[in-house]
Structure 1
Amino acid sequence: MSSQQDNRQANLTRGIRVEIASLVYNIIEVVVSVTVGLLTGSAALVSWGLDSTVEATSAATLIWRLKGEKDGGDKRTVLHRKKVALYVVACAFWIVVAAILYEAVSAFVSQEAPGFNWWGIAILFVSLVVNPLLAWGKYRYGKRLDSPALKYDAKDTMICEYQTVVVLAGIGLTQWMGWWWADPVAALLIVPYVAWEAFEATKDARSVDPDEAEATPDA
């Protein structure tokens, strides 16, 4: 039993480290992409950056959640942290949906093609490599810990990978084909996925009841 507990503690530590790496990288994503997106007028890049705030929020709340168990919190405390974390992530998703719609509609109204910036392209290409690695780490320790929240976060990270491809395609079509509308359309293609994740996170949060603490660990 002690060996199993030690093993779980080790996996909790590694899971926290993965989420810390995710938090740091997503903060970099937000700063670079939103700054470049605002400077160049790219709705897709701004929307992608805003979605990265959800990833950062998710990472921060999961660090808080996993640390609660690692530090010896009881089952009720663990479930309470899970519920709060899921609601925080859900709220962040809904805010991002609203922000993306605003940016995309503004772009359609102005009908101005965004400018080009290599910093924006660079962060997108870096993310194509980094996101799968982060998703693999989250899923690996989510599986070891039997943690739905970590697995859920891994799925969110892979959705971000898809969004990266969409944004790159939108920027490419705008710059090389002259299709000004490709950028806001790329931004709008992100909305259904963000909205779905918002709905799922809200539903999951409602299903967690700290007063009905289960005997088995669940993250």
Structure 2
Amino acid sequence: MAGKNDRDANLKRGIRVETASLIYNVLEVVVSVTAGLLTGSAALVSWGLDSTVEATSAGTLIWRLRGEAKGGDRRKVLHRKKVALAVVACAFWIVVAAILYEAVSAFLSQEAPGFNWWGISILFVSLVVNPFLAWGKYRYGKRLESPALKYDAKDTMICQYQTVVVLIGIGLTQWQGWWWADPVAALLIVPYVAWEGIEATKDAWSVDPDDAEAAA
């Protein structure tokens, strides 16, 4: 009984962490994509698009965790686990395509992006917020033995890396006049997103809802 109570408590805490992540990432998307489109920054738009992965992951994981918290049987839990991993994987690949499009468009136009304080501000705020979100996701992902939660934690730390790269790219563009630094910063994001997409895809395929003995 104690084990079940501990798991129930961890499920509730995991849901709270993902809810906070969902709210914050929606804010990231709105601010960064708007600022990126207004200034023509491929790196800022790409960073914002990657935040859609985190928002999608958070929403899907809330659904997956609530399903277990409500007492669903093993098969339903596995089904939600498979769907959660599949949605995360698809979101990764959509972002890869979007980033490549934005970066190639920037290379073709060869225009330096403008400057926007809203875009810079959300980047700096994320440098502080993301480590806390990643820690919470990984902690409860480990306690619940949930690979989807752990992938979400990894994506949040990837976003932290991306934040640093985008800030450097924008800084070089604004202060050195290197128009190509912005799309290059966007392209540096692609390998990390693609790798996590591959891993999430593999895990999604490995889950069989009909295997009632598999780990939930």
TM-score range, shorter chain: over 0.9
For 2:210, what is the secondary structure of its paired residue? helix
Q: How many residues align?
A: 216
Residues 84, 148 of structure 2: 8 Å contact kept: no
Following the alignment from structure 2 to structure 1, what is the Cα–Cα distance between the partners of residues 196 and 141? 18
Aligned twin of 1:21: 20
The amino acid across from 1:107 in the alignment is A
1:210 match: secondary structure: coil
Find the counterpart in structure 1 of residue 9 from structure 2: 10
- In the TM superposition, residue 215 of structure 1 has moved relative to its aligned partner by 6.0
Residue 106 to residue 215, structure 1, CA distance change in 2 (3 Å): closer
Describe the superposition over 1:42-72 as per-residue Cα deviations: whole angstroms up to 9, x where unpaired: 0000000000000001111110111111000
In the alignment, structure 2 segments of 5+ residues that lack a partner are none
1:156 is matched with: 155
Aligned with 1:214: secondary structure? coil
Query: Superposition pairs for residues 70-219 of structure 1, below 5 Å?
Result: 70-214=69-213, 216=215, 218=216
* 1:139 to partner: Cα distance: 1.1
What is the identity percentage for the equivalent residue pairs of Structure 1 and Structure 2? 85
**Distance (whole Å) between structure 2 residues aligned to residue 70 and residue 10 of structure 1:** 9
1:53-72 to 2 correspondence within 5 Å?
A: 53-72=52-71
The alpha-carbon deviation at position 148 of structure 1 amounts to 2.0
Q: SS at 2:80's partner residue?
A: helix
Letter of the 2:81 partner, please give it: K
The answer as to whether partners of 2:92 and 2:193 remain within 8 angstroms in 1 is yes
What is the DSSP-based 3-state SS (H/G/I as helix, E as strand, rest coil) of the residue aligned with 1:146? Answer: coil
Secondary structure, counterpart of 1:73 in structure 2:
coil
**CA shift at 1:28, angstroms?**
0.2
Amino acid paired to 1:50: L
**TM-score after normalising by structure 2:** 0.98
How far apart are the structure 2 equivalents of 1:102 and 1:206? 28
1:147 shift after superposition: 2.0
The one-letter amino acid of 1:35's match is T
CA–CA separation in structure 1 for the residues paired with 2:41 and 2:138: 32
**8 Å contact from structure 2 (residues 79, 209) kept in 1:** yes
Aligned-residue offset at 1:194:
0.9
Q: What's the RMSD between the two structures over aligned residues?
A: 0.9
Amino acid paired to 1:95: I
- The aligned amino acid for 1:41 is G
**1:145-189 Cα deviation digits (max 9, x unpaired):** 222221221111111100100000100000011100000000000
Distance 2:146 2:206 in 1: 15
Q: Which amino acid aligns with 1:168?
A: L
